């Protein structure tokens, strides 16, 4: 599992997400592959979206999924905001996902 800095460039996260490579930071941000995942503080439509389609990779901030990749090949990122720290994580991951497939 790759260890990266929480404040790494979105380009670092883009590379990890493109390959769906598990990673962790020395903080609360991590990415995990597999089928069984914690739902953390997800609720409502976000929770339904997360549990409706099989997920093969999840990015967590603390215990809450902030982005996930489905076996259908789609990335989902809820717009729900939590803490200032999680908002920073969401921003980096949102940018990385938006740049997947861009050379």
DSSP per residue over the chain, as a string? -EE--TT--HHHHHHHHHHT--EE-SSSEEEEESS----TT--HHHHHHHHHS-EEEEEEETTEEEEEEETTS-EE-------HHHHHHHHHHHHHHHTTT--
Q: Are 17 and 29 in contact (CB under 8 A)?
A: no
- Residue 52, Cα to own-chain centre: how many angstroms? 17
pLDDT classification of 9: cutoffs 50, 70, 90: confident
Position 75 in a domain: yes
What is the reported pTM? 0.92
Give the model confidence (pLDDT) of 15-30 as tens digits: 999 999 999 999 899 9
Report the domain count for the chain.
1
Domain that holds residue 9: 2-98
Mean pLDDT of the chain: 91
Position 41 in a domain: yes
Position 103 in a domain: no
Position 28 in a domain: yes
């Amino acid at each position: 599992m790759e260890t990266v800095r929480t404040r790494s460039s979105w380009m670092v996260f883009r590379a990890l997400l493109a390959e769906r490579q598990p990673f962790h930071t020395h903080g609360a941000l991590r990415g995990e592959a597999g089928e069984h995942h914690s739902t953390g503080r997800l609720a409502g439509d976000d929770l339904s979206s997360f549990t409706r389609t099989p997920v093969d990779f999840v990015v967590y901030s603390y215990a809450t999924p902030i982005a996930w990749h489905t076996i259908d090949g789609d990335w989902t990122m809820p717009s729900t905001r939590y803490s200032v720290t999680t908002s920073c994580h969401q921003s980096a991951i949102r940018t990385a996902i938006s740049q997947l497939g861009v050379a």
